[in-house]
C-alpha cells in the first residue's frame, strides 16, 4: 500500500551559511523519542540515501519533509536563514521527486516577509504547505501581523502544520517545573506533555478569534492525534459555543472542517478509533515523525481491523493526496 507521511523532519545543521549551534539538540535516552536520531544522530540532518533506506524499511512511499526549528530564529537572520533552508530542502528533494516533498520554513520573526516566502516556496520550489513550530514570537497566528500568512495559505490552498515548539518560559515555570528535576522537566515541558497542549490551545485560539471565519478554507494540521482536542469536542461546544463566543459555528464545526490530525508515532489503536468517530476518517493522515518517533507498531494504525480497505487507503495516502494535491 502506498504510504505518505507528512510530519517528517530534518535539522538544518547542514544548510550552508547558517550560524547555528554545532550538533543537534540533545534527546534523552529512555524517553523512547528519537528512534532513528538516537541510533545515528546524522539521520536528523540528512536528506538523501540514508533517509530513503529508512523510508524503504518503514514502508513509506513519500515523506513530506520540514524543519520545526525556524521559529527560533531572531528577526536579524530569520528571512535569510529560512530562504537558505527552503532552497536547500528544495535542492535535496529534487533528487527524489517521487519520494520527497517539502513544507516551507517561514521567518515568523519577520511577519511581513512570511506570505511572500510561502508563495515563493509553493510556486517556485513546488512545496505543498508550511510547518510552523507553534508559537510565533511567543504568540499565535491569529494576531493581525500574521494574518497575511493565513490569507496566503488559504489563497494557495496549502495547509499550515502547527507543530509543537518550546512553550514560553513563563508557562514552563508555572506548569512544568515545580518540584521536578531538570531531567524530568526537559521531557515534561516538551514531548512528555507541554508541547502537545500548546498547539491545541493555538488551534482553539484560531477558532475563538474568528480566524476560520475570516479564512473558511484554511486547513490546519495538528500532530499527535490532534494534540488532545478531539477528546473535548462536546465540552467545547457546551462551553465555547458560537452563541457564546460570537463565532460563526460551534467549535466542533472547525475541528471537523479546518483540521487534519496525524498519528505522529503514537501507535495507540484507541486514538485512531476515537478520532475516526469524532473527526471522521477523511481527516486523519498517517505520519511517523521521522527521525524522532519509533516506527515499530505502526501497523496497529495502518492495519486496524476496524478500518475497511478503502479507509486504510485514505489514512495511508488518500487524504494526504487530496490535502496536498500530490
| Binding site residues, Ca ion, CB under 5 A | 7, 289
Indicate the residue among 221 and 276 with the shorter CB distance to Ca ion.
221
The closest alpha carbon to 124, from 136, 114, 116, 132, belongs to 116
Q: Nearest approach, Cβ of 223 to Ca ion (angstroms)?
A: 5
Burial class (CB in 10 A: 0-12, 13-18, 19+), 14: middle
Residue 285, φ and ψ in degrees, nearest 5: -125, 125
* Smallest separation, CB 286 to Ca ion (Å): 13
DSSP character for 241?
-
Determine the 3-state secondary structure of 79 from DSSP.
Answer: helix
Which residues, in sequence order, are CB contacts of 106 under 8 Å at separation 6+?
Answer: 70, 82, 114, 117, 118, 130, 132, 149
Distance separating alpha carbons of residues 269 and 282, to the nearest angstrom: 17
E strands present in the chain? 4-9, 62-66, 100-102, 130-132, 160-162, 220-222, 259-262, 284-285
Q: How far is the CB of 293 from Ca ion (least distance, A)?
A: 8
Q: Given the complex with Ca ion, which of 8 and 117 has the nearer CB atom?
A: 8
| Distance of closest approach, residue 230 Cβ to Ca ion, in angstroms | 18
- CB nearer to Ca ion: give 68 or 251: 68
Asked if residues 230 and 261 have their Cβ atoms less than 8 Å apart, the reply is yes
- Cβ-count burial of 211 within 10 angstroms (0-12 exposed, 13-18 middle, 19+ buried)? buried
Q: Tell the smallest beta-carbon distance from residue 287 to Ca ion (Å).
A: 8
CB of 213 to Ca ion, least distance (A): 29
Smallest distance from the beta carbon of 262 to Ca ion, in angstroms?
A: 8
Distance of CA 185 to the CA centre of its chain: 23
CB-nearer residue toward Ca ion: 79 or 89: 89
The dihedral of CA 175, 254, 264, 79: what is its sign? negative
Nearer Cβ to Ca ion (7/46):
7
Name the closest residue to Ca ion (Cβ): 289
Q: Which is nearer to Ca ion, 111 or 164 (CB)?
A: 164
Q: Which is nearer to Ca ion, 117 or 289 (CB)?
A: 289
CB closer to Ca ion, 227 vs 289? 289
Q: How far is the CB of 163 from Ca ion (least distance, A)?
A: 6
Amino acid at each position: 500500500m502506498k504510504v505518505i507521511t507528512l510530519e517528517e523532519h530534518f535539522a538544518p545543521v547542514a544548510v550552508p551559511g547558517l550560524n547555528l549551534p554545532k550538533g543537534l539538540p540533545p534527546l534523552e535516552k529512555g524517553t523512547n523519542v528519537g528512534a532513528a536520531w538516537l541510533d545515528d544522530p546524522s539521520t536528523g540532518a540528512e536528506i538523501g540515501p540514508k533517509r530513503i533506506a529508512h523510508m524503504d524499511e518503514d514502508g513509506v512511499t513519500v515523506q513530506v519533509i520540514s524543519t520545526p526549528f525556524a521559529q527560533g530564529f531572531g528577526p536579524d537572520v530569520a528571512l535569510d536563514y529560512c530562504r537558505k533552508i527552503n532552497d536547500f530542502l528544495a535542492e535535496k528533494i529534487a533528487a527524489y521527486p517521487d519520494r520527497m516533498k517539502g513544507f516551507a520554513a517561514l521567518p515568523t520573526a519577520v511577519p511581513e516577509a512570511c506570505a511572500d516566502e510561502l508563495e515563493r516556496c509553493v510556486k517556485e520550489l513546488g512545496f505543498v504547505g508550511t510547518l510552523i513550530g507553534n508559537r510565533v514570537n511567543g504568540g499565535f497566528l491569529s494576531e493581525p501581523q500574521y494574518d497575511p500568512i493565513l490569507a496566503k495559505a488559504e489563497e494557495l490552498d496549502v495547509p499550515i502544520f502547527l507543530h509543537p515548539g518550546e512553550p514560553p518560559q513563563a508557562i514552563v515555570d508555572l506548569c512544568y517545573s515545580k518540584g521536578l528535576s531538570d531531567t524530568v522537566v526537559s521531557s515534561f515541558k516538551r514531548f512528555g506533555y507541554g508541547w502537545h497542549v500548546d498547539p491545541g490551545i493555538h488551534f482553539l485560539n484560531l477558532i475563538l478569534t474568528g480566524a476560520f471565519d475570516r479564512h473558511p478554507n484554511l486547513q490546519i494540521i495538528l500532530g499527535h492525534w490532534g494534540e488532545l482536542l478531539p477528546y473535548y469536542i462536546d465540552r467545547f461546544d457546551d462551553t465555547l459555543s458560537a452563541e457564546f463566543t460570537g463565532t460563526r459555528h460551534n467549535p466542533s464545526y472547525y475541528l471537523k472542517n479546518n483540521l487534519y490530525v496525524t498519528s505522529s508515532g503514537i501507535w495507540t489503536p484507541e486514538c485512531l478509533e476515537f478520532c475516526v468517530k469524532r473527526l471522521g476518517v477523511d481527516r486523519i493522515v498517517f505520519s511517523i515523525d521521522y527521525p524522532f518517533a519509533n516506527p515499530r507498531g505502526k501497523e496497529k494504525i495502518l492495519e486496524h481491523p476496524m478500518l475497511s480497505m478503502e479507509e486504510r487507503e485514505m489514512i495511508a495516502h488518500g487524504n494526504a493526496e487530496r490535502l496536498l494535491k500530490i
